[in-house]
Every structure is written in structure tokens, then in C-alpha cells.
Amino acid sequence: MIVKAFSSSANLGAGYDILALAHNAFEDTIEIEAKNSSELDIKVEGEGVPLAVEKNSASYALYELLREYNVRAKVRLKVIKGIPAGLGLGSSGASAAAAVYGANELFKLGLSRQELVKFAMKGEIASSGSPHPDNVAASLIGGVISVVNPNSIKVEQVPINLDFELILIIPLVKIEAKTKKAREMVPKQIEISKYVANARYLSSLILGFIKGDRELIRLGLNDDIVEKSREPLFPYYPKIKEVSLLNNAIGACVSGAGPTIAIFVDSMSDKNKIIDESLKVCKAYGYECIYKLAKVSGGAW
């Protein structure tokens, strides 16, 4: 069986570990096959991916799912990466989402996409050391998702009533263990004023999506806590945001833990100028960046 899952951008400003958006910029593919066996045995294949089950987000998520449901089989899992890793595009989450989605079909486990999030997120332990559910939920379910309960893993789709596209500004860099490092940069304590500002951004963004109101989305795509603390990983971000807003983008945010920047645009935005100026900003900061246009996508299929 062949299954695919799209890339995603997590956080969307103030929604750290809460919000994520699936987009069709890139996709990962997995092939999964199984033979009868008296024990569970997973063999990982793929170019440029970790081959140890516990080191690979897809196989680790798959292992957790099959172990929970007592599945005994010899499983061959091939991971074909289309989503570049370490750039804040939900690469590890998409492979994990595709793997659990495929296993659910193959072994007829009858779980919903929501129920699969719990297992897919375990895959994030393999790649970043922590089981955050945002990227995997977006890649599994599609659209914009909100993690409303991280303990019982309840995830809801946010209705979107505005037609927009994303311009992803993607620096061609490789930072080892980036997500882990980026998570360590987030402050453990914050001032109440920052908390209030962030709560306001989050509510504006969600209201903006529901009402289809670009001004609310613009107000909402901000973050005074997590993006700020991680800025050394993407020093070009404030300037890219500035040139984007000057050219009438809806807004801009860091994609996941960065270093990719996601710029929200619609028919009122000067897309070409935003792309040109953003790439110039990258250069001025000494980064080589590419851009990719994307639309909000559906879940794994």
C-alpha cells in the first residue's frame, strides 16, 4: 500500500504546539507491506532516513500503534522523503502521519484520523525528543487544526472562510537537531503582559479564519514569546515580515520552529514583489533562500 501526506506549518504565530496548517508545498510517501508472523518485526527502508525503528519518526509511530493493537506481523516500511527535513515544514510529522494512516488501512484497525494523532505524535519523539501533536495532526487531518486537549489528544479543524495562498521562504541551511534546540530556546516563564498579548493574537487569528477577515488574521499572525525567543535561528524574519506587510500580505509567521517563513497572501497582495523583496532580505542576512507557493491541503491519503 502507498500512502502520502503533505507538509505543514505549525504554530502560526502565537499557537505554539496548538495550531498547524497542512499545505501542498511538499509531500512524503510511504510504502507499507505486511506478512504474517508470530511477532511484530518492522524493517525500515529509504534513502537518507534513519533505518533504526526508534530513530525514524514513521517507524516509531508505526511501532507504537501496532504494539498498542497487538498486531503481530513482519512489516516492511519504505519512507520516500519529499519534504526537506529540519526546515520547519513538518517533515518528520508527515512521514509519521502517512505511516499510521497506512497501517490503519492495511490492518483494518478502524481508527479515525483524530485517534491516529496520538500514535503519529509519538514519532516526533524520535526526531525532536518531544511528542508535540501539531504537525502530525495537520498532515493527518488536513486544513488548519487546533490541538484542544493534548492529554486525551483532541484535535479540531478550524473552519477557514478566506481564500489565501502561502509563500514559503525557505533558507537552504542545515541545523542539526534543530527542533530540539529550538524548543530549548523557549522561555520557561513569561510575563503576564506577554501572555495576554499572545492570547489576543491567537483569538484574533482563529476568529479571522472563521469570519474570513484578513485584518483579524493579520493581527493574529504575531507572537511575542516563542518566535522572539528563537529569532537567532531566523534573523531575517522581522525584515521579511516588514516587506511582506508593506506589499499587502495578509500576514507572516515563522513556519514551525523555523527557519522557513510562511507569508499569507491573497488577491490584494503584490506576490511578485513580496517574493523578490523577501529573497533580497535573505541575501542581505547572508542566507540563500528559495520560495515555494502553496495552498492549504487535505490530510493523508
* Residues of each annotated binding site for ATP: 84-94
Q: What share of the chain is helix, strand, coil (3-state, %, to 5)?
A: 40, 25, 35
Q: Does 257 interact with ligand HSE (rule: CB under 6 A)? A: yes
Nearest to 122 by CA among 148, 144, 92, 101: 92
Of 46, 208, 256, 259, the one binding ligand HSE by CB under 6 A:
256
229 DSSP assignment: H
d(CA 301, CA 282): 35
d(CA 259, CA 9): 11
- Distance between start and end Cα atoms, the chain: 11
> Which positions are catalytic?
124, 179
The residue written with cell numbers 478550524 in the block is 158
Q: Using the minimum distance from each CB to ligand HSE, give the nearer residue, 64 or 134.
A: 134
d(CA 128, CA 132): 9
Q: Does 198 interact with ligand HSE (rule: CB under 6 A)? A: no
> Could you tell me the smallest distance in angstroms from the CB atom of residue 218 to ligand HSE?
21
> Could you tell me the smallest distance in angstroms from the CB atom of residue 16 to ligand HSE?
6
Q: Which of residues 205-244 bind ligand HSE (CB under 6 A)?
A: none
Question: Is the alpha carbon torsion for 282, 263, 170, 202 positive or negative?
Answer: positive
Q: Does 10 interact with ligand HSE (rule: CB under 6 A)? A: yes
Q: Using the minimum distance from each CB to ligand HSE, give the nearer residue, 21 or 73.
A: 21
Size of the site for ligand HSE (CB under 6 A): 13
Q: Using the minimum distance from each CB to ligand HSE, give the nearer residue, 4 or 132.
A: 132
Q: Which of residues 279-298 bind ligand HSE (CB under 6 A)?
A: none
Q: 80-99 mask for ligand HSE (x: CB under 6 A)?
A: --------x-----------
d(CA 146, CA 39): 37
CA distances from 183 to 17, 130, 179, 186, 244 (A): 10, 9, 6, 6, 26
Q: Which of residues 18-77 bind ligand HSE (CB under 6 A)?
A: none
d(CA 272, CA 248): 11
Q: Which of residues 135-164 bind ligand HSE (CB under 6 A)?
A: 135
Of 4, 118, 122, 183, the one binding ligand HSE by CB under 6 A:
183
One-character DSSP codes across 176-196: TTHHHHHHHTS-S---HHHHH
Task: Return the residue nearest ligand HSE (CB atom).
Answer: 256
Q: Does 132 interact with ligand HSE (rule: CB under 6 A)? A: yes
Q: Does 201 interact with ligand HSE (rule: CB under 6 A)? A: no
56-64, 131-139, 243-251, 260-268 -> range binding ligand HSE (CB under 6 A)? 131-139
Q: Where does this chain bind ligand HSE (CB under 6 A)?
A: 10-11, 16-17, 88, 132, 134-135, 179, 182-183, 256-257
